Structure 1
Amino acid sequence: MFIELSIIIFLSTLTGHTCSTLPELLKDLPPSLQDEVYLKVPKIITKYHYPVETHEVTTDDGYLLVLHRIVPIKKPHKGAVLVMHGILASSADWIITGPRNGLGYILADEGYDVWLGNARGNRYSRNHINLSPDSKKFWNFSWHEIGSYDIPAMIDHIIETTGQSKIFHIGHSQGTTTFYVMCSLRPEYNNKIRAHFSLAPVAFVNHMFSPIFQTLAKGNIIIEDMVDLIDLNEVMPKGGFVSLLGQTVCGINTMTKILCGNTLFAICGFNPKQLNTTILPLILAHIPAGSSTKQLLHYAQEINSGKFHQYDYGFFSNLKRYSSWKSPNYDLSKITAPLYFFYSTNDWISSSRDVNDFAKKLTSLRGKFLVSDYGFDHMDYLFGIQAPQLVYHKILSLMTRH
């Protein structure tokens, strides 16, 4: 009954609404930060006196993507690094915790040329040379297309702009998935990467704990059919099915209801120990940033299959698309770029069991690091109070090897 009710909620409320609690929370945000609730990423970066550029990249299939570049202050710089967000997220993830804690600023302070990517469909990359975001065709993509088209286009643009032959890549959650997709389907891009750093690696997900994703997986076929029937193609940035279901799953007190009312926190969970509640209104103002429904459904398929594979369109459509009734697995033997994994034991999305199983299948894994705080969760890689000490500083140390 719970699954059927969840599907009804999904169909009726996915388009969502703005979180009504945000204006109430703003009064607790320090006055010096209140303007950042309404500012976009370039303006926030400029506020802290970092030089910033906005670049637009066109993919081979016509999507217009935005990259935010923090130009290195220190000269000569140590190399370019592309930093990719996870599902329902954006380039804001890496800077809204401020210059002392945001990975984008920390990398820039160390002399790196920082490029913050925005995948198709989020608030910064909602354009196409022909398609409108109001059309069904615009949203006909999952993270497969982001890995096949978006990441290669960004890498090529960075290399062309900087004149470097190789760059670093850092990804969180879906930002790791898309990197593995790229390297397996377009293996020539392995040679354009100095090293890749996976924060909460996501490939195999059959041990994913997230109650939201588990619900989607159990009702996957029904939800896919209904989404297609009524053209419910976009997970809106605010509210909707996921946030309402999240409040039911983890609404214990006022704070948890606020967090679970946010789509991304409802999916990923949260850790009160690491969460800086002072800047919570700022975080809630910038996430979630939107995605296609198909991105969520693709992960739900993999929970059921236990495999890392391309999107399953069903028997007959698979035959037409793949010349096989099954969707093909990604060829992990094609991934040859140097890899480093950071994972934790309290992650609703990136299960330590799945990470360890995935690691055994890779030949270019150089290091696998379990975060020492056993309460560290999926969102702490972005907003955790101790993220710099527990994760970012180790990344900086490893980057010097390449």
Structure 2
Amino acid sequence: MKTATAWVVFLGIAGVLSAPPANVVDEVMSRLRAKYVSSDIGKSDHWGANMTTPELIAAFGYPVETHHLTTEDGYILEMHRIPHGLSGPSENRPVAFLEHCLLCSSADYIMNVPEKALAYKLADAGYDVWLSNMRGNTYSRNHVELDPEDISFWQFSWDELAYYDVPASIDYVLSMTGADDVYYAGWSMGTTVFWAMMSERPEYNQKVRAMAAMAPVAFMSNAEGPIMSLAPYSDNLDLILSLLGVGEFLPSTDLLDYFVETYCDMEAVSADVCYNFLFLLAGPDPDEIPKEFLPIILAHTPAGTSVHTVNHYGQLVMSDVFGKYDYGLIGNLNHYGQSTPPLYNLSKVTAPVGLFWGSTDWLADPTDVARLADSLPNLALNHKVDKEQFNHLDFGWGIHADEYVYRHILDFFANY
């Protein structure tokens, strides 16, 4: 299963940026190719582009399970589980719950070799690892009544992800494992929905032993890059798409899959354009995104979401507050009984939180992260990545994310 990326539509504007060092991850890719050169998985350089998250996990020899649950409002979500690491099962394994970023899926926590990807590292450290997929992404496109071909399926923002999807997923994990609580790791939107969930359903603080927030997003007043240029028009674009009956953002198409695999291949002359486009979105860092692995990453991400979900972030940029979705005057009166969207209350986030942030992250700007830190009542760790350049995407795909981020998350969890 592949998820197309419509990002390539914008690639032409990124070519002016400098190219990253060549052959940064030759060792990683040579190990991948050596492992699978004689297998049935395939002999191409991009074997992972045609595999699902469970297939990728199984390919590395890890146990994997697929689970389904239904939210209160009828969305059917798929979760992927790595019950234990390569050393085998053990008794009373703590549970790690991983929540993905905007336009992402469970795949983004395994986009590297096991020694470097967070999901595998947690499993090998003795955790029972659960990978979430929120409504609308590649793996969670079903509903008890609604059809994703109908715009009504897509009438949600990350408000609904926070209120329905994350709590339902946590409850399912606890019921399946018998655990009392989970260790929560979120990346980008995986942190946004956590703050919103705890504001609306504070009883879930008791179900989270500790929360690690990578590239945390709540306030976005200082965001940089294309999002700042597009944010003033996001509401209008949302309205136009809604009138046209379009509710899904970045749906998969075979044409775009072909485009990515053909023109983002490391041997293609256009590869640097694909690579540099990521810097244009997320901030500079010439060392961390594995160029050779890029076609595999882009075959799985973006994984799709609703137009409202993306627009909600544009609203954060423009509003200077952390609030619910803005439906306009009449819509707000209908939804909230007031003319403006209610604000989320970060003082209700009482679970221990560790913030992990980078200095060149354009979407989780250090100034905005500092504002978030000041708003959290139980900030247990405020960790700046010890690297001069570390951007928004490095937290999931970075070649050295295990060294700069994940080992600190493991230490943080071990304290609780």
TM-score by length of 1: 0.87
Tell me the distance in 1 between the aligned counterparts of 2:217 and 2:6.
27
State whether structure 2 residue 162 is matched by structure 1 residue 147: yes
Q: What residue is the counterpart of 1:45 in the other structure?
A: 57
In the TM superposition, residue 323 of structure 1 has moved relative to its aligned partner by: 1.4
In the TM superposition, residue 285 of structure 1 has moved relative to its aligned partner by: 1.4
Paired residues of 1:184 and 1:331 also in contact (CA < 8 A): yes
State whether structure 2 residue 79 is matched by structure 1 residue 63: no
Letter in 2 for 1:93: D
Q: What residue is the counterpart of 1:259 in the other structure?
A: 275
Letter in 2 for 1:155: I
Letter in 1 for 2:375: K
Paired residues of 2:284 and 2:360 also in contact (CA < 8 A): no
Letter in 2 for 1:139: W
Q: What residue is the counterpart of 1:246 in the other structure?
A: none
Q: 385-394 or 279-288, which moves further after superposition?
A: 279-288
Tell me the distance in 2 between the aligned counterparts of 1:197 and 1:270.
23
Query: Which of 161, 180, 198 in structure 2 is aligned with 1:165?
Result: 180
Tell me the distance in 2 between the aligned counterparts of 1:343 and 1:127.
34
List aligned pairs for 1:179-190, cutoff 5 A.
179-190=194-205
Tell me the distance in 2 between the aligned counterparts of 1:265 and 1:374.
15
Q: What residue is the counterpart of 2:265 in the other structure?
A: none
Deviations 1:217-250 (A, max 9, x none): 1213321221221122111245899x9xxxxxxx
State whether structure 2 residue 392 is matched by structure 1 residue 381: no
Query: Which of 360, 366, 371 in structure 1 is aligned with 2:374?
Result: 360
State whether structure 2 residue 109 is matched by structure 1 residue 79: no
Q: What residue is the counterpart of 1:300 in the other structure?
A: 314
Query: Which of 85, 97, 108 in structure 1 is aligned with 2:123?
Result: 108
Identity of aligned residues (%): 38
Query: Which of 58, 63, 66 in structure 2 is aligned with 1:54?
Result: 66
Q: Structure 1 unaligned segments of length 5 or more: list them.
A: 1-13, 22-27, 244-252
State whether structure 2 residue 211 is matched by structure 1 residue 199: no
Corresponding residue SS for 1:68: strand
Q: Structure 2 unaligned segments of length 5 or more: list them.
A: 12-28, 37-44, 260-268
Q: What residue is the counterpart of 2:409 in the other structure?
A: 395
Tell me the distance in 2 between the aligned counterparts of 1:257 and 1:135.
35
Query: Which of 290, 293, 296 in structure 1 is aligned with 2:304?
Result: 290
Instruction: Assess, with a 3 A threshold, how the Cα gap between structure 1 residues 202 and 64 changes in structure 2: closer, same or farther.
Output: same
Q: 217-226 or 133-142, which moves further after superposition?
A: 217-226
Query: Which of 352, 355, 366 in structure 2 is aligned with 1:338?
Result: 352
Paired residues of 1:214 and 1:303 also in contact (CA < 8 A): yes
Deviations 1:1-46 (A, max 9, x none): xxxxxxxxxxxxx995988x9xxxxxx9964363222010111111
Corresponding residue SS for 2:102: coil
Letter in 1 for 2:373: A
Paired residues of 2:284 and 2:389 also in contact (CA < 8 A): no
Paired residues of 1:77 and 1:113 also in contact (CA < 8 A): no
Paired residues, what number? 371
State whether structure 2 residue 332 is matched by structure 1 residue 318: yes
Corresponding residue SS for 2:212: strand
Tell me the distance in 2 between the aligned counterparts of 1:222 and 1:393.
43
Q: What residue is the counterpart of 1:249 in the other structure?
A: none
Tell me the distance in 2 between the aligned counterparts of 1:221 and 1:359.
28
Q: What residue is the counterpart of 1:89 in the other structure?
A: 104
Corresponding residue SS for 1:83: strand
Paired residues of 1:74 and 1:109 also in contact (CA < 8 A): no
RMSD of aligned C-alpha atoms? 2.6
TM-score by length of 2: 0.84
Tell me the distance in 2 between the aligned counterparts of 1:270 and 1:102.
21
Paired residues of 2:83 and 2:89 also in contact (CA < 8 A): no
In the TM superposition, residue 321 of structure 1 has moved relative to its aligned partner by: 1.5
Tell me the distance in 1 between the aligned counterparts of 2:283 and 2:248.
22
Deviations 1:81-109 (A, max 9, x none): 11011000000011121211110000000
Corresponding residue SS for 2:171: helix
Q: What residue is the counterpart of 1:124 in the other structure?
A: 139
Tell me the distance in 2 between the aligned counterparts of 1:110 and 1:237.
36
Tell me the distance in 2 between the aligned counterparts of 1:295 and 1:260.
25
Paired residues of 2:279 and 2:285 also in contact (CA < 8 A): no
Tell me the distance in 2 between the aligned counterparts of 1:64 and 1:215.
35
